[in-house]
Amino acid sequence: MEKESHTISPYLVFFLLNSSMIGVGILNFQRELINHGGYSSWISVILAGITIHLLVWIIYRMLSTDPLNSDLISLNKACFGRIVGNLINGSVVLYFFMGAFTVFRGFVEIVQVWLFTSMSLYPVSVVFLVVIYYTISGGFRTVTGMSFWGIVLPYVVVIPLLFFVIKYLHPRNLLPLHVNSVEDILLSIKTMALQFSGIEVILIIYPLVQTPKKSYKWAQWAVLSTTSIYLVLTLLAFMFFSQGQMKHIIWPTVTLLKIIEIPLIQRLEYIVISIWFLKILATISIFLWAACRGVKTTVNIKHRTSLLIFLAGFLALQLLFFKDRSGISELSKFNSNVGFYFNYVYIPILFVIVLLRSKFMSKKIE
């Protein structure tokens, strides 16, 4: 059992999951979304959100079968044995680490392109890593607090700004409502579902929630609010840009904000990206904390030790392998595909195994 001083209230799961599901991808997901369904692919945002609601139900149903409120690491050991379970846990740790690095590298690129075009990215990266270390080393509650402010402050500032865009919108861009085939719909849903990667952190934080079953409704509210945010940004981008324009815009959300003019502020996107740093910091901290938690539970290495190793890995990967846009794009696609199979294949399979194991154990006791 976890100490009560290390746990959080159920409602804070809303902020943790919201932060984990919305990262750097929200700045350019619209461009990827139109590749299959065109401007009718906003429907796929809703359908993908429905599948995530179902996935949350599966995760909570699976975790609630264990009276000890175990996490994913413990379930893997219980279901697959110590050796195979630890191998799978190692893959889980690597998955969360690569998820954190993907968000980190993507945001560093945005900072370099939009804010400091002539500056080397390494000083920015080092400062970023120091802040990440300070946040995660403070413990799970510090990470949760960062998630709270990473949701409240950026949204309070950014969302009202979007109302300035309304007068420039062209609703006719959404017409005619046409989908080429069922395959296009499924591919669009898959593309959108990748943006929700992060919901799986429930599998790690579950034991650290006070009365975790009460957090279920907050997890579902987090999915609903995230789906709503993605849907609004999708519709705004589709109604503002034509399909031809969208194919040549790398970050539609940031570009959308460039048209807003406020007295005394010439480059509003500078302020938005700077504030969005809190949101990205929360996302990275959650993923990296989950990786450190997995290492501690699996091989009993202290959080700060594994954290330093992971942060050093960030610098090494950035220096050696992911220096340009093409490398970052390939990394993002690979990590997104892994996340899709993790959520839609591995978790359902583990769910079935856990239920069968639970029924077998109950019959054995009888």
Local structure of 120: helix, strand or coil: coil
Distance in angstroms (rounded) separating the CA atoms of residues 186 and 37: 9
Distance in angstroms (rounded) separating the CA atoms of residues 217 and 58: 13
Convert the pLDDT of each residue in 280-304 to its tens digit.
Answer: 888 899 999 999 988 888 887 888 8
Q: How many helices (H) and strands (E) does the chain have?
A: 16, 0
DSSP assignment of 15-66: HHHHHHH-SGGGGTHHHHHHHHHGGGTHHHHHHHHHHHHHHHHHHHHHHTT-
CATH number for the domain spanning 286: value is 1.20.1740.10
Average pLDDT over residues 241-250: 76
Task: Copy the structure tokens of residue 179.
Answer: 């989908």
Convert the pLDDT of each residue in 339-355 to its tens digit.
Answer: 888 888 898 998 888 88
Contacts of 98 (CB under 8 A, 6+ apart): 331, 335, 338
Distance in angstroms (rounded) separating the CA atoms of residues 87 and 299: 11
Domain range for 174:
4-365
**Range with lowest mean pLDDT among 119-133, 254-268, 348-362:** 254-268
Give me the pLDDT at residue 267, please: 65
Tracing tokens 């270390």 back to the chain, one arrives at 133
Taking 70 as the threshold, does the pLDDT of residue 205 lie above it?
Answer: yes
Give me the pLDDT at residue 237, please: 83
ω into residue 176 within 30 of 0, thus cis?
yes
Taking 90 as the threshold, does the pLDDT of residue 270 lie above it?
Answer: no
- Identity at 48, one-letter amino acid code: A
CB 343 within 8 A of CB 199: yes
Which of 335, 325, 267, 326 has the alpha carbon at shortest distance from 95?
335
Average pLDDT over residues 233-258: 78
Distance in angstroms (rounded) separating the CA atoms of residues 139 and 156: 26
Distance in angstroms (rounded) separating the CA atoms of residues 78 and 96: 21
Average pLDDT over residues 203-213: 87
Question: Pick the residue with more confidence: 101 or 117?
Answer: 101
First to last CA, the chain: 26
Contacts of 250 (CB under 8 A, 6+ apart): 28, 31
Question: Pick the residue with more confidence: 202 or 184?
Answer: 202
> 300's torsion region: left (phi>0), alpha (psi -120 to 50) or beta?
left
Domain count, the chain: 1
Query: Highest mean pLDDT: which of 107-111, 259-263, 265-269?
Result: 107-111
Radius of gyration of the chain (CA): 21
- Identity at 97, one-letter amino acid code: F
Taking 90 as the threshold, does the pLDDT of residue 57 lie above it?
Answer: yes
Percent of the chain with pLDDT over 70: 88
| Phi, psi (deg, nearest 5) at residue 229 | -65, -45
| Phi, psi (deg, nearest 5) at residue 109 | -65, -40
Question: Pick the residue with more confidence: 117 or 279?
Answer: 279
- In angstroms, what CA-CA distances link 192 with 94, 195, 222, 259? 23, 5, 16, 26
Mean residue pLDDT across the chain: 81
